[in-house]
Amino acid sequence: MQVQPYLFFEGRCEEAIEFYRRAIGAEVTTIMRYKDGPEPGACPAGAENKVMHANLRIGDSTVLASDGRCQNQRQFQGFSLSLTVANDTEAERQFTALADGGQVMMPLAKTFFASRFGMLTDRFGVSWMVYAAP
């Protein structure tokens, strides 16, 4: 059994995928567009080329993504994606990359439980916690 986050970017999925590729090395293993779906009527009007489903590998994890209903009304609330990295240098690099165009909620710093820990909301509104074990 697995739990995999599924993020709906409401029309900005492809932009988010490219951002995560550059920022944290996400690898796209699957991408399906609405126009390629078996039910043409299920496609939101004008969204034929939007992402119906994408599968991203980030390290050993899978994150699923979509443009959803393409209404540009993203509401990522009540959760954070936690990115655990190997060392402080990697924490700095990943945190800085994810924070580009976003908002830092807690700057990356040493804590009682981690050699580096920080929280941010990226440019798409997704909340992240970056953690390097002590």
Residue 4, pLDDT score: 95
* Residue that is written with structure tokens 């993203």 in the block: 74
Average pLDDT of the segment spanning 35-48: 78
CATH architecture, domain 81-132: 2-Layer Sandwich (3.30)
* Residue that is written with structure tokens 């990295």 in the block: 85
Give the Cβ contact number of residue 29 at 10 Å: 10
Q: What percent of the chain has pLDDT over 90?
A: 78
* Residue that is written with structure tokens 């969204």 in the block: 47
Question: Residue ranges of the domains in the chain?
Answer: 6-66, 81-132
Query: pLDDT by residue (tens digit) across 22-34?
Result: 999 999 999 999 9
Query: pLDDT by residue (tens digit) across 83-125?
Result: 999 999 999 999 999 999 999 999 999 999 999 999 999 999 9
Residue 69's pLDDT band, with cuts at 50, 70 and 90, is confident
Residue 46's pLDDT band, with cuts at 50, 70 and 90, is confident
Give this prediction's pTM. 0.91
Residue 68, pLDDT score: 87
Average pLDDT of the segment spanning 15-20: 98
Burial of 3 (0-12, 13-18, 19+ CB in 10 A): exposed
CB-based burial, 105-117: b 16+ in 10 Å, e otherwise: eeebeeeeebebb
- What are 125-128's contacts with CB under 8 Å, separation 24+? 125/74, 125/75, 125/76, 126/7, 126/76, 126/81, 127/76, 127/79, 127/80, 127/81, 128/80, 128/81, 128/82, 128/83, 128/98
- CATH topology match: 6-66 vs 81-132: yes
Residue 71's pLDDT band, with cuts at 50, 70 and 90, is confident
6-66 topology per CATH: 3.30.720
Q: Tell me how far CA of residue 54 lies from CA of 8, 14, 31, 100, 110, in angstroms.
A: 10, 9, 4, 23, 35
